[in-house]
Amino acid sequence: MTTEAQLARARATSLADISPLADPPLGNAPITPDRYFSKEWADREWDKVWTKTWQIAGTQAQIPNAGDWLTADFGPETIVCVRGDDGQVRAFYNVCQHRAMPVVSGEQGHSKRLVCPYHGWSYDLTGKLKVVPDEADFVQGSPCGKLNLVEVKCETWAGFVWINMDKDAAPLRQFMGPIADQIDTYPMDAMVRTHWVTIEGNFNWKLVQDNFNESYHVPFVHPQTKFVMEYGYSHCQFDLYPEGHARMFMPGAGPTKQLRGGEAETLEMLREELVFWELDPEQFRGGKTGEIRKALQQAKREKGASKGFDFSTYHDDQLTDHWHYTIFPNLSFSLKPDGNIWLRARPHETDPEKCYFDMWYMTLFPAGTTRYYSQSMSEWVDVSVPAPHVQGKWGEVSAGPGIDQDVSVWEAQQRGLHSRGYKRDYLAWQERRVRYFHENLEKWMAD
């Protein structure tokens, strides 16, 4: 890592505020079932939310060179993002100005110009129309100089390409608020996407965001986590941000204090990580599993550099714990020192009771390595093999055991929302991030 990058991360750490925030006032208005299946709700969400909020289109690594492009689907729209000869990434609606034909097809590609396959209209990498066959045949005058691809607001940050269909939208960092500084403490630009899964599910996108806005479900939906995670709400920190985003800090690398027994399971689940950091799992037998978290923090601090990691700008808690964020309206991610998982729900183009659920895993490989046992993913990953985009309907593809447990809940929950026996929510205080999400959604819908 360059000195400049180290200084930038250190600066971000000094700016990142991790102290608990005071909760804003919250109401108790009903979160009624209709918002999860009403076509009217979905249409308003499209006009008021999806076309006005920042979304990830893809990774910067997908388009490293001039002429490289990628596409992103959101509802009925497809956006094409292309890197220009000047190195800048620009985004456009993927539609020719002649007769509405998409100018590119597929997820990504390379072209010196964006050429409509229907009639050959050719646009340069800045979206300007440059070539029109039979140009003199247009009695109203040549379209060149008059028509261009319609541009979409676009920024690059944290290793991703971001887009916003609202030309008057606030800049991305302003939208992210203080969370941007917290993300900047991680070397996002150096991470590689090693998992890329998209599931078409029979559930509304808000069920996904509701789920990742609370940890109340964790011991019941993910019972295996009790051996390696402190999910008790009194031991976690929950914060709500004015921008509509939220944060949770959850201790990791050890069992919940609610657990009785389970020593063998904890040591087995953490064995690979302990061995990697030259800690003997056997030393934590005899009721000492609660000491693993601090021992790992110390080992990573002392041995990180020798193993190809730069942990110098992290807080100790970042080395073991789950720092989980939800970004309004539809993005969730958990940050770990050797990688992070990004989770997103996108609206279906026509059906409010369906959505597309994306899961990406970004891995930080130790310097000088191409293959690495990801402690966050608990599996070996290879930097030299690009992550294939695994796509399919729920039941046909998997996002991994833990996430699959969540998806099975959303499918069942969507059916339950239609029951005559269910009228509204009844939330615990530890679920206040769910309440906050819906209150912010209603504000956006009302504007």
pLDDT in tens, 238-278: 999 998 999 999 999 999 988 878 999 999 999 999 999 99
Quick one: which of 44, 161, 113, 65 has its CA closest to 446? Answer: 44
Q: What is the DSSP letter of 226?
A: G
Contacts with 74 (C-beta within 8 Å, 6 or more apart), sequence order:
50, 55, 165, 346, 347
DSSP H or E run through 371: strand 371-374
**Is 365 strand, coil or helix?**
coil
- 375 pLDDT more than 70: no
DSSP H or E run through 207: helix 205-212
DSSP H or E run through 285: none
pTM of the model: 0.95
Cβ count near 435 (within 10 Å): 21
- 286 pLDDT more than 90: yes
Q: Give the pLDDT mean for 383-400.
A: 90
Q: Give the pLDDT mean for 272-292.
A: 95
**Is 95 strand, coil or helix?**
coil
Q: Give the pLDDT mean for 63-89.
A: 98
- 237 pLDDT more than 80: yes
89-93 sheet: strands from edge to edge: 55-59, 160-164, 151-157, 89-93, 77-83, 68-74, 108-110
Compute CA 324 distance to the chain's CA centroid, rounded to the nearest angstrom.
11
pLDDT tens digits along 117-153: 999 999 999 999 999 999 999 999 999 999 999 999 9
- 1 pLDDT more than 60: no
Bond prior to 329 in cis (omega within 30° of 0) = yes
What pLDDT, on a 0 to 100 scale, did the predictor assign at position 65? 98
pLDDT tens digits along 192-203: 999 999 999 999
Distance CA 7, CA 319 (A): 19
User: Residues 198, 200, 206, 207: is their CA dihedral positive or negative?
Assistant: negative
DSSP H or E run through 295: helix 292-303
Structure tokens of 366?
């130790």
Domains in the chain, start-ordered, CATH in brackets? 3-53+178-446 (3.90.380.10), 55-168 (2.102.10.10)
pLDDT tens digits along 297-342: 999 999 999 999 999 889 999 999 999 999 999 999 999 988 899 9
Give the pLDDT band of residue 2 (cuts 50, 70, 90): low
Cβ atoms of residues 279 and 295 within 8 Å: yes
Cβ atoms of residues 98 and 142 within 8 Å: no
Q: Give the pLDDT mean for 384-412.
A: 93
Average pLDDT, the chain: 94
Cβ atoms of residues 374 and 381 within 8 Å: yes
